[in-house]
Structure 1
Amino acid sequence: MNSLLPPNATSFERSVEQVTKADMSSPIRFLWNYEKCPTELLYVLAITLDVDEWDERWSDEFKRKTLQEAYLVHSRKGTPDAVRRILRNAGYDEIVIQEGLNGGLRDGSIQRNGLTYYGEEMAFAKYIIWLTKTITAEQARQVRRLLDDAAPLHCELVGLNFTEALILRNGTIYRDGTYNRGTA
């Protein structure tokens, strides 16, 4: 019998070991390798590597890619690169980060185009994320959670925008709160 318990273990400890015994047929060194770790134990590696967002519904390939980039995300936390990586790993493709929004006054001197943040002259710590695909309201909440973990603490997200529309406003589709209109 393969046991990790010492020879003086009690019968209770041996019983608990039998009930909770996992398949440890893989060498221990594989448990730390995102490429060779058994699929059913990837979540343990994710916990160990402090992965911010994990979903058991993800594909095996997607889980392993997230684990591969976990170190890079954590070593560069607070940088635009970390924000891009963590959102890409969560399935949001490429993004554009608009940093240091130019503050403007509503005096007619700046064209209203959705790219200007009004109300403050110094909006250097504010940013907008531009996504390439439409997201649901639930996905917007997930993106905000991820950004809370990855973005610099002194920065403030003022918008999640996307350039691709999933539905058109044509009077035949009713809003039920699932999708937003170009911003989340």
Structure 2
Amino acid sequence: MTSLLPAQRLLPPDRTPLESALAGVMASLALSTDGLRHLWSAMHCLEAALPWLSWTLSVEAWHEAKSDEARRQLILNSIEIHRRKGTPWAIRLLIRSLGFGEVEIIERVGGRLHNGEIRRNGEFPRAPLSQSWATYKVVFERPITNAQAERLRNLLPSVAPARCHLVGLRYATVANSHNGAIRRDGTYNRGSA
């Protein structure tokens, strides 16, 4: 009787010669199964398996994350984002997970009275509250490009309340200054996108 490899011993007694030969070949390949142990861990999952893990967890904005760390952070935060979807907190967490930093969300952008409570600086449009109660604006601490703003405009409705409408994206610091150091090529705006 010939000696059987461990993989061949696992086969049933009525195995065919082909099954036995395939088991012998597979045993000699020394396949690594180390990555299988971490399939459900966002921090330790193999990079090739990350898209499947994100698909399984219904991760929002998977294609918007540009780095491996941002993708892993999105996967880690996806359960919390889904749990609190439709709240300003979910909007902040999604923007933070994408690497845009901290933001301020201004809700109910219109409907402000002329009683000295706010400054008329363009931040709040002149619209009655009945037309603008479900509006919001996102204010960033750092500049964003026009392409990033467009991606965020397409993405925010998936985590924002369904009744709310994004009025604008604004950033407080501007990357462009009039010192001749950069060319105005349309990548950045002058404070709002």
TM-score scaled to structure 2, two decimals?
0.73
Q: 2:59 aligns with which of 30, 51, 61?
A: 51
Cα-to-partner distance string for 1:116-166 (whole Å, 9 max, x where unaligned): 121223322111100011011100011112212111111011110000110
Instruction: Quote the Cα distance in structure 1 between the aligned partners of 2:94 and 2:32.
Output: 31
Alignment correspondent of 2:80: 72
Deviation of the 1:75 alpha carbon: 1.2
Deviation of the 1:176 alpha carbon: 2.1
Deviation of the 1:63 alpha carbon: 2.4
Instruction: Name stretches of at least 5 consecutive residues in structure 2 with no aligned partner.
Output: 1-6, 8-14, 16-21, 23-30
Instruction: Quote the Cα distance in structure 2 between the aligned partners of 1:115 and 1:129.
Output: 11
Instruction: Name stretches of at least 5 consecutive residues in structure 1 with no aligned partner.
Output: 2-6, 8-13, 15-22
Instruction: Quote the Cα distance in structure 2 between the aligned partners of 1:156 and 1:54.
Output: 22
Instruction: Quote the Cα distance in structure 2 between the aligned partners of 1:24 and 1:126.
Output: 52
Deviation of the 1:52 alpha carbon: 1.6
Report if the CA contact (8 A) 1:96-1:131 is conserved.
Answer: yes
Q: Greater share of helix residues, 1 or 2?
A: 2
Larger radius of gyration: 2
Q: Percent identity, aligned pairs only?
A: 37
Compared with structure 1, are the counterparts of its residues 24 and 71 closer, same or farther at alpha carbon in structure 2 (3 Å cutoff)?
Answer: farther
Alignment correspondent of 1:10: none
Instruction: Quote the Cα distance in structure 1 between the aligned partners of 2:88 and 2:108.
Output: 12
Instruction: Quote the Cα distance in structure 2 between the aligned partners of 1:138 and 1:112.
Output: 29
Q: What one-letter code is carried by the residue in structure 2 that aligns with 1:88?
A: R
Give the secondary-structure state (helix, strand or coil) at the position aligned to 2:109: strand
